[in-house]
Amino acid sequence: MAEKARGGRIFDLKLSYVAEAAASGELTATAGIVHAGRRTIVTECRIEAPDGRLIATASATFAVSRDQEN
């Protein structure tokens, strides 16, 4: 049986500013799922300047409920 995530509530969110970004600079965000379990999903994100300098990081944990498909 396949399961589908049905919604989530954030129960942990952390954002860390590492460096100041230029006002006119374009930033790149790279995000991904670190863990996708039965009851929680953990994600993280990196924000970088065009030169590769780290601007910020973020992580979040979501509580989810899942519906079963037949």
Strand ranges across the sheet with 54-68: 3-17, 54-68, 40-48, 28-36
Radius of gyration (C-alpha) of the chain in whole angstroms: 16
pLDDT for residue 65 is more than 80:
no
pTM of the model: 0.73
Instruction: Kindly report each contact of residues 30-39 with a partner whose C-beta sits within 8 Å and lies 24 or more positions away, as own/partner.
Output: 34/59, 38/66, 39/63, 39/64
**Mean pLDDT (the chain, rounded):** 85
Determine the average pLDDT of the residues in 35-40: 90
CB 4 within 8 A of CB 41: no
